[in-house]
């Protein structure tokens, strides 16, 4: 127990654990609405777009976080505008946006003074790199994401659950969808030091998927999703410290492990009751 607390002696670990807590809360809070809308993979696309921002930051030898924030938010708005047109080419346009973001990021980063070595930290997370400045930004964004997703939960729920009905009842569906996309973009940025932009989508989806195995209501799914998100992201950072593994991958594997355990437990319970 005492040995376990030793990791708190390190400044970088304290920062990493706080960042993990923040992304563990923010990702499922947004993810639940994406899952409800059947857009679970939109976070993945936004992560790809954010890579161009990260690479721009590296190229200009400046902090990548603000650049990632700008490109992810711009990407989020673009995605909703493209989707709203419901054209046949919308899906192709989204694919170009996502992979253009990844391709652009890789090319830009290769020209950076530090080379593309550093890009990997942002793609898959790294516990040693969260600065005090990053942490302040992440805390601000995470609080914003939580406040908006809880404050607007009724509108976000209505639109995600039945967008035709929401339109009939006079809700500004397009604006609410843009808000949700921007919240997803902010979550991608909060995740970039710990989970990494390529893996954050898993943290938006898997804790929610785990919660819906046991919950009976949307509210319960939300609460359980946040608890699972925090547990797996904090535990993943601890595991990655001791096992010397990248935190993003550790967090995602833990999340899927928890899902599998809950899935087996609930189905065993059902079999026994039969």
Partner 1 sequence: MTHPVIRIRDGQFGYRNQVAVRAALEIESTEIVALLGPNGSGKTTLLKGMLGLVDRIGGSVELFGQPMREFKDRSLIGYVPQRQSAAGSIPVTVRELVRSGRTGRNWSGSSRAAGRQAVADAIAAVGLADKATDPVSTLSGGQQRRAMMARALAGGANVLLLDEPFAGVDQANQHAIADALAALVPGGATIVVVLHELGPIEPMVTRTICLDGGSVLYDGPLADAPPRLLHLGHDHDPHGGEPDGAGGADEMGLFRR
Binding residues vs partner 1 (CB under 8 A): 32, 35-36, 38, 154-155, 157-158, 160-162, 164-171, 208, 212, 215-221
Q: How far is CA 257 from CA 21, 25, 261, in A?
A: 19, 19, 6
Q: Measured from the CB atom, is 133 or 151 closer to partner 1?
A: 151
- Smallest distance, Å, CB 135 to partner 1? 31
- Smallest distance, Å, CB 186 to partner 1? 22
- Smallest distance, Å, CB 204 to partner 1? 13
Distance CA 164, CA 139 (A): 35
Q: Measured from the CB atom, is 110 or 220 closer to partner 1?
A: 220
Q: How far is CA 74 from CA 85, 110, 166, 195, in A?
A: 17, 23, 25, 21
Q: Measured from the CB atom, is 13 or 35 closer to partner 1?
A: 35
- Smallest distance, Å, CB 170 to partner 1? 3
Q: Measured from the CB atom, is 20 or 183 closer to partner 1?
A: 183
Q: How far is CA 252 from CA 24, 67, 146, 201, 237, in A?
A: 11, 25, 21, 10, 11
- Smallest distance, Å, CB 24 to partner 1? 19
- Smallest distance, Å, CB 178 to partner 1? 17
Q: In the chain, what is the straight-line distance between the N-terminal and C-terminal CA atoms, in Å?
A: 42
Are the C-beta atoms of residues 96 and 217 closer than 8 Å to each other?
no
Q: Measured from the CB atom, is 12 or 218 closer to partner 1?
A: 218
Residue among 140, 124, 133 nearest 192 (CA): 124
Distance CA 52, CA 67 (A): 8
Distance CA 71, CA 52 (A): 7
Distance CA 71, CA 224 (A): 31
- Smallest distance, Å, CB 210 to partner 1? 12
Q: What does DSSP assign to residue 125?
A: -
Angle between helix axes 200-214 and 42-59 (nearest 10 degrees) is: 150
Phi and psi for 120 in degrees, rounded to 5?
-55, -35
Q: Measured from the CB atom, is 218 or 263 closer to partner 1?
A: 218
Q: Measured from the CB atom, is 33 or 241 closer to partner 1?
A: 33
């Amino acid at each position: 127990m005492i040995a376990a607390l030793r990791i708190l002696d390190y400044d970088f670990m304290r920062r990493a654990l706080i960042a993990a807590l923040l992304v563990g809360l923010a990702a499922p809070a947004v993810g639940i609405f994406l899952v409800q809308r059947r857009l679970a993979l939109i976070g993945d696309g936004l992560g790809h777009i954010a890579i161009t921002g990260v690479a721009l930051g590296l190229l200009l030898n400046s902090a990548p976080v603000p650049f990632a924030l700008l490109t992810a938010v711009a990407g989020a708005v673009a995605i909703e505008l493209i989707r709203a047109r419901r054209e046949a080419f919308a899906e192709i346009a989204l694919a170009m946006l996502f992979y253009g973001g990844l391709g652009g990021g890789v090319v830009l980063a290769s020209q950076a003074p530090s080379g593309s070595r550093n890009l990997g930290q942002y793609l898959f997370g790294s516990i040693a790199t969260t600065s005090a400045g990053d942490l302040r930004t992440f805390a601000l964004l995470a609080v914003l994401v939580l406040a908006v997703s809880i404050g607007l939960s009724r509108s976000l729920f209505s639109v995600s659950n039945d967008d035709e009905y929401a339109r009939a009842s006079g809700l500004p569906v397009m604006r609410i969808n843009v808000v949700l996309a921007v919240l997803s973009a902010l979550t991608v940025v909060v995740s970039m030091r710990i989970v990494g932009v390529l893996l954050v989508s898993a943290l938006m989806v898997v804790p929610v998927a785990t919660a819906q195995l046991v919950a009976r209501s949307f509210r319960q799914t939300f609460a359980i999703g946040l608890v699972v998100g925090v547990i797996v992201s904090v535990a993943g950072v601890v595991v990655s410290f001791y096992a010397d593994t990248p935190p993003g991958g550790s967090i995602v594997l833990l999340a899927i492990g928890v899902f599998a355990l809950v899935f087996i437990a609930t189905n065993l319970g059902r079999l026994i009751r039969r």
